[in-house]
Structure 1
C-alpha cells in the first residue's frame, strides 16, 4: 500500500476518534480552519494593540471638545499692615469669577484634529488587521508545509525501508554484494534523521502559529488545509494600488498631521479672560461689583517651535503618503506577476512529480529483476523525494503570492473583507 495513502487514512481515523472521545481537548489543541482561527484571534495581543490605539484616539478626540475651565478666586486687601490698616476694619474682600474665552477658532480646530486622528487610527487599525491576517495566513501555511514535509520524509523512510529489504534479499541470494546493503542502510538512517528534523520544524511552526493567534495552549495540528484551498485560482477583480489600505492609512495620517498644524497656528492667538466679582468694603459696610478683562502679551512665547514641529510632521506625512503610493504600485505589479508565476510553477511541479513517480517505479522493477544497480534505484528515489519537495515548495510559494495579492486587495487569503 502506498505510504502516503495509508498515513492519510490513519490520520483521518485518529482525528475521528479524537473528535468523538476527546472533543474538548482536541479543539483546544488543534488549530481550527483559517477563517475561524482569524475570528478567534480577535483577542490576540496584536489585535488588542490596534484596538487600544483607536480607543486612545477616540479619547483624545473627546478631550478636544472640552472647553477651558473657569476659575474662582478669593483675595483680601488692606489688612494687617501699618496704621490705619493695622486690623481688619479697612479690609476689602473680593470674590471673583474668571472665565477664559478662546479666540481664533481653537476649539473647532482641536475638534477637527481629533476627528482626523480617529480616522487615521481607524485606518491604521484596518491596515494592521489586514497585515495580521496576512501574517497569520503565512504562519498557518508554514505549519501545514511543515506537516507535509513530515509526510514526505515518512514516505521516503517507508520506500527506503522497502528498498533495504529488497537489497537484503538480493544479498542473501548472492546477487548483490554486502556493500549494497550497507549503502541502503546508510540511506535509510539519513532519511530517518531528516524525518526527526521535519518533526521538530513542525513543532516550531505550530508554536509560532499558536503564539500569533494568542492561543494559551500550543496547537498540535491543523484541522483544515489552506494549501488545498488555493489549488484553484480565485476570481478577483482589477486591483487599484491607490485604494489599498496602506495608502488609505497614509492619506489619513497626512490629513491628521495637517489638522495638527492648524491647531498649533491657532494656539498662537492670545485668549481673553473675562473677570467679574463682588467686593466687600468693611469700612463703608458696603458691597460693590468688580469686572475686568485680561489679555496675555505674546512677546516671548509665540508657539513658533510647536508650529515648526507640526509643519515638519506634516511634511513627513506627505512624504510617507508618496512613498506608500509608489510602494503600493510596485507591490501590485509584483503581486500579480508572482501569482501567475506561482500558478505556473505549481503546474510544472505536478508534471515533474508525475515523471519522478514513474521513474522510481521503473527503477524499482528493474532493480528487483536484477537488471539495474542499486545506485540507479537510490538516484530515482532521491529524484522522487526532490520532486515531492518541489511540489510542496511550489504550493508554499503560491500561498505567499496569493496572501500578498489578497493583502493589497483588502481581503484575507480566504476572501473575507477586513473590517
Structure 2
C-alpha cells in the first residue's frame, strides 16, 4: 500500500502528460485545418512565370505601353509638313468716289505655302524616332522592374506563409511546454510560478502568430494589387524560394547591358536630337505666295506672286538652344551615373549572393543544433533534471534559429533577384524583351 501511494504522483504525472499530448495534437490539428481552409476562400495565384505572362494588362505595364503609343504619335506628327493657306481679299470698294461701288473692285485669291529651310523637318523626324526609341527603352526597363517587383511580392507572400508556419510551431511548442509545466506543478515538483512563466511565453507566441497572419494578409493584398487582380489571391501554386534557388546563377553583369544604362543612353540620344531641332529652328523660313487678281474696272485678270521672309531680329531661339544644351549635359551625367551604379550594384549583388549562400548553410547547421538542444532540454525537464528556464531558453533558441534560416533564404532570394534584374532576366532565368 505504501509503495502504491509512492507511485501515485508518477502515475498521475504520466496521465497528465498523455492528456497534454492529446490536447496539443487536437489544437495543432485545428490550427492546421484553419490555416488550410481559410486561404481556400480566395483564388490561387498561378506559378510566377505564368503570372508574369498573364500580367500584361497590369496598370504599370499598361501605362508604359501608352507612353510608347504617345511617342509613336509624336514621331508621326513630326513628319508633317506645314499646311498651306488660301486667302481672298477685295480692294477698292465702299470708299469715296470713284471707289464708292464695286466697279473698280480688285479681288485677289492667293495660295500661300510655308517652306522650311535648314533641315528642320529632318531634324524633327530624327527627334521623333529618338523619342520612340527612348520610350521603348523605358518600357523594357519598366518590364524588368515589374518582373523584379512581382518576384519580390510573390516571395513576400510565400515568406508570410512560412512565418505563420513558424509561429504556429512556436505556439504548439509553447502549449506543450505549458502543459508539461502544469503537470509538474500538479505533481508538486515545480512552483506555480513556472506555470505562469510558461503561460506568459505562450501568450507572447500567440501574439506573434496574430501579427504573422496580419502580415500575410498585407503580402497577398500587395501581390494582387501589383498584377491588377480584382479578387485577392489567397494561396500560391509554387514555392518561388525553391524555384529561385534552383535557377542558374547569372554571372557578372556588363553595366552597358543593364536596362537603366540603356535608358540613360537613349535619353542622351533624344536630348541630342532635340538640341538639333532647336538649333535648326533659328534658321528663318520663307513663305511663297501665288494668286490670281480680278480687275473689274479693266475686266481683266492678272497673276500675283511673292515671297515673305521673317526677320529674326528679336527672337533667335537662343534660350531654347541653351536649355537643350544643358539637357544634353544632364543626360550625359545621368548616363555616367547609370554606368557607375550598374557596375557597383552588379559587384555588390555577386558578393551578397556568395555571402547569402554561406549564410544559408550556416543557418541550417545552427537550426540542426537548436533542434537537438531543444529535444535534450525537453527530455531533461520532463525527467525533472533541469529547470523550466532552460527549456524556455532552448525553445526560444530553436525559434530564433528557424527565423534565421528563413531570413537567410530571404536574403539569398533578394540577391538573386537583384542580379537577375541587372541582367534583364526574371528570377527563373528567362530574358525579358
In the superposition, the TM-score normalised over structure 2's length comes to 0.90
The RMSD of aligned alpha carbons is 2.1
Q: Which runs of 4+ in 1 moved over 4 A?
A: 5-15
Please show how residues 253-332 of structure 1 align to structure 2 within 5 Å.
253-332=267-346
1:172 aligned partner: 186
Q: Deviations over 1:50-93 (max 9, x none)?
A: 11111111111000000000000000111111111111100000
Alignment match, 1:22: none
Report the alpha carbon displacement of residue 233 of structure 1 after superposing the two structures with TM. Answer: 6.0
Contact persistence 2:252–2:347 (CA under 8 A): no
Measured against aligned partners, the alpha-carbon deviations of 1:167-212 in whole angstroms (never above 9, x if no partner) come to 1221222222221111111111111111111101111111111111
In structure 2, C-alpha distance between the alignment counterparts of 1:234 and 1:368, rounded to whole Å = 48
Question: Paired residue for 2:254?
Answer: 240
**Residue number among 228, 237, 249 corresponding to 1:223 in the alignment:** 237
> SS state of the match for residue 76, structure 1?
strand
* 2:72 is equivalent to residue 58 of structure 1: yes
Deviation at 1:366, TM superposition (A): 0.8
Tell whether 2:89 aligns with 1:75: yes
Corresponding residue for residue 415 of structure 2: 401
How far apart are 1:405 and its partner, in Å?
Answer: 0.3
List per-residue Cα deviations over 1:346-400 (Å, max 9, x = no partner). Answer: 1111111111111111111111111111111100000000001001111111111
Match of 1:115 in 2: 129
After TM superposition, list the pairs within 5 Å mapping 1:86-101 onto structure 2.
86-101=100-115
Pairing of 1:42-57 with structure 2 (within 5 A): 42-57=56-71
Aligned length: 409
Deviations 1:293-313 (A, max 9, x none): 111111111111111111111
Secondary structure at the aligned position of 2:330 is classed as helix
Q: CA deviation at 1:236?
A: 2.7
**Shift in Å, 1:12:** 11
Deviation at 1:133, TM superposition (A): 1.3
Report if aligned partners of 2:45, 2:235 keep a CA contact under 8 Å in 1. Answer: yes
Matched position secondary structure for 2:63: helix
Measure the CA separation in 1 of the matches of 2:387 and 2:424: 56
Provide the residue aligned with 1:356 in structure 2. Answer: 370
SS of structure 2 residue aligned to 1:186: helix
| Bigger Cα Rg | 2
For the pair 1:377 / 2:379, whether they are aligned, the reply is no
Closer/same/farther in 2, CA of residues 11 and 332 from structure 1, 3 Å limit: farther
Moved more, 54-63 or 226-235: 226-235
Aligned pair in 2 of structure 1 residues 13, 208: CA closer, same or farther (>3 Å)?
closer
2: CA distance between counterparts of 1:174 and 1:211?
Answer: 56
Aligned partner of 2:359 in structure 1 is 345
Greater alpha carbon shift after TM alignment, 39-48 vs 316-325? 39-48
User: How far did 1:342 drift?
Assistant: 1.0
Offset, 1:11: 9.1
Distance (whole Å) between structure 2 residues aligned to residue 162 and residue 64 of structure 1: 76
Paired residues of 2:91 and 2:107 also in contact (CA < 8 A):
yes
Relative distance call for 1:12 and 1:181 in structure 2 (3 A) is closer
Deviations 1:108-128 (A, max 9, x none): 111111001100110011011
Mapped to 1, the partners of 2:81 and 2:30 lie a distance apart of 71
TM-score by length of 1: 0.93
* Aligned match of 1:21: none
- Is contact 2:247–2:429 with CA below 8 Å preserved after alignment? no
Offset from partner CA, 1:227-275 (integer Å, 9 cap, x none): 1113346243442112111101100110010000000111111111111
Cα distance between partner residues in 2 of 1:252 and 1:301: 30
Q: Does 1:205 align with 2:229?
A: no
Q: Say if 2:79 and 2:124, in contact at 8 Å, map to a contact too.
A: yes
Point out where structure 2 has 5 or more consecutive residues left out of the alignment.
1-20
- Could you tell me whether the CA contact under 8 Å between 2:377 and 2:391 is conserved in 1? yes
Name stretches of at least 5 consecutive residues in structure 1 with no aligned partner: 19-24
